[in-house]
């Protein structure tokens, strides 16, 4: 099957910093991919390149067979940014409704559905500024989901979300993936990583390892992912 997301020798420099340093990979449709790496390892930059928010210094990013940046293709992509990116003066419902309209959807049923999904159905009329931090995070997710995208990029979606809801989030991500949505989740929380089908360990703009959680642990000969990451990071450091 054709790749849902493809990076070919993708490079992004900010001055002397190589935020993304020559990445080539294919991501298959209907799977959940985890981008794991420390602060500044290039996760957000990679997602911005794949969504076409920024142009690569060199190389190419493709989503659903279309080279990014491409504006019409954005209708098939959902992007939950690392910052909440919601309008504090609007109500929860108005926020979702606005982003839905931006994607060309004016069906209020879809808006309510997205709100229900993140457990905010009873907060439709609440001004976003008065929601709690975790509730705003959920609202932000609803805004990224409302148009039922084929490819979903989630930049640290579970930060500030309570454990119970986090479980619900992941259950929902799995449901979406089963329905064919390709999901890319960035995180530096290792215990979430095991819920992904495949992990990409990132460090200094490079993918230092790729595989399922079990495979990576096995390769590294460690019990937990954290130790596995350090193992690969050490190998990366030696190689570099």
Partner 1 sequence: MNLRRLRAIVRRVVAEVRRDRPSLALLFIAPIVVTGLLTFILREAETPDVTAVLVASADTPGPVVAAIEGALERGGIKTVQFDEATARVNVAHNPGWVAILLPPNLAGGTITLVTNGLNPSAEGAQIGAVQRVLVGAAVAAAGARAPTIAHETVYGTPSTDPMVPFAPAIVAFFLYFFVYLLTGISFLRERTGGTLERLMATPVTRSEVVTGYAIGFALFATIQVAVVLTWALGAIHVPALGPIPEFAIGLGIPVAGSPLIAFLVVVLLGLGAVSLGIFLSTFARTELQVIQFIPVVLVPQFLLSGVLFPVETLPAVVRPLVAVMPLGYAVDALRQVFIGGADLASGALQGDLFVLALVAVLFAWVASLTIRREVV
Ligand X SMILES: Nc1ncnc2c1ncn2[C@@H]1O[C@H](COP(=O)(O)OP(=O)(O)OP(=O)(O)O)[C@@H](O)[C@H]1O
Q: Cβ closer to Mg ion: 81 or 95?
A: 81
Which residue number, 26 or 106, has a Cβ lying nearer to partner 1?
106
- For residue 35, list its beta bridge partners: 186, 200
Question: Least Å distance between CB 39 and ligand X?
Answer: 3
Cα–Cα distance between 71 and 98 in angstroms, integer? Answer: 18
> Smallest distance, Å, CB 23 to ligand X?
12
Bridge partners of residue 184, in order along the sequence: 33, 153
Q: Which of 40, 180 has the CB closer to ligand X? A: 40
- Per CB under 6 A, 19 contacts ligand X: yes
* Length reported for the chain: 240
Site residues for ligand X, 177-216, by CB under 6 A, read 188
The correct pick among 41, 44, 182, 187 for binding Mg ion (CB under 5 A) is 44
CB of 53 to Mg ion, least distance (A): 12
The reply on whether position 45 binds Mg ion by CB under 5 A is no
124's tokens: 């439709």
Binders in 44-63 for ligand X, by CB under 6 A: 44-45
Please give the helix or strand (H or E) that residue 226 lies within, else none: helix 225-239
| Measured distance CA(196)–CA(57) in Å, rounded | 29
Between the CA of residue 75 and those of 63, 71, 85, 144, what are the distances in Å?
A: 12, 8, 18, 11
Q: Where does this chain touch partner 1 (CB under 8 A) — which range of 53-61, 113-121, 130-138, 221-229?
A: 53-61
On whether the CB atoms of residues 22 and 28 are closer than 8 A, the answer is: no
Token couple for 181: 């949505």
Q: Which is nearer to partner 1, 90 or 190 (CB)?
A: 90
SS3 (DSSP) at 24: strand
List the structure tokens of 150: 């084929």
Beta-sheet pairing, 198-203 with 182-187: unpaired
Contact residue for ligand X among 6, 43, 166, 231 (CB under 6 A) = 43
Q: How far is the CB of 15 from ligand X (least distance, A)?
A: 7
Residues forming the site for Mg ion (CB under 5 A): 43-44, 82
Residues forming the site for partner 1 (CB under 8 A): 51-55, 69-72, 74-75, 77, 79, 81, 83-90, 94, 97-99, 101-104, 106, 127, 143
């Amino acid at each position: 099957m054709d790749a849902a997301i493809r990076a070919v020798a993708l490079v992004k420099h900010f001055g002397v910093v190589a935020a993304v340093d020559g990445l080539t990979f294919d991501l298959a449709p209907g799977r959940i991919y985890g981008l794991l790496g420390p602060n500044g390892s290039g996760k957000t930059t990679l997602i911005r390149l794949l969504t076409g928010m920024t142009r690569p210094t060199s190389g190419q990013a493709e989503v659903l067979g279309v080279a990014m940046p491409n504006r019409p293709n954005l209708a098939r992509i959902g992007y939950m940014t690392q910052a909440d990116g919601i309008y504090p003066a609007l109500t929860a419902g108005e926020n979702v409704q606005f982003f839905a309209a931006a994607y060309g959807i004016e069906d209020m049923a879809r808006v309510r559905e997205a709100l229900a999904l993140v457990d905010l159905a009873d907060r439709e009329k609440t001004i976003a500024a008065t929601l709690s931090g975790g509730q705003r995070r959920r609202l932000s997710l609803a805004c990224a989901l409302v148009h039922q995208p084929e490819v979903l990029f989630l930049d640290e979606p579970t930060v500030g979300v309570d454990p119970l809801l986090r479980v619900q989030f992941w259950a929902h991500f799995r449901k979406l993936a089963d329905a064919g949505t390709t999901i890319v989740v960035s995180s530096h929380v290792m215990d979430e990583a095991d819920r992904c089908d495949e992990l990409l360990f990132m460090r200094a703009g490079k993918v230092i390892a790729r595989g399922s959680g079990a495979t990576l642990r096995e390769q590294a000969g460690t019990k937990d992912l954290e130790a596995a990451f350090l193992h690969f990071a050490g190998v990366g450091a030696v190689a570099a």
